[in-house]
Amino acid sequence: MKAQPQFNAKIKSSPRCYKCGGSPHPKRECPANNAKYSNITFKLDTGADVTAIAESDLAKVFPKDKMPILQQPEKPLLGPGKTPLDVIGFTRLQLKY
């Protein structure tokens, strides 16, 4: 009896969208193109009490009708060299990564 040859075949995974990673569809037809929210990239200091983002980035993340209500800060926020930061307000958000 002859030994059967071994094959190292690569199994193709089902195609995924390059934009959202979802079910197969062309990038130009991706449902994420019509999303009302955008992702932004920023550094998160896990040892900091707060994370600050620019007002322009906040506008990129939330459409005007979904903008979170900003509360007045209770104390000044200080940057490098203890320089006060110009803060328009704060809110609590859940971050996903």
Per residue in 39-92, pLDDT tens? 788 888 888 888 888 888 888 888 777 888 899 988 899 888 999 999 999 988
Domain ranges of the chain: 17-97
CA max distance for the chain: 83
The closest alpha carbon to 73, from 57, 86, 59, 64, belongs to 86
CB 87 within 8 A of CB 68: no
pTM score above 0.85: no
Can you give the pLDDT at residue 32? 67
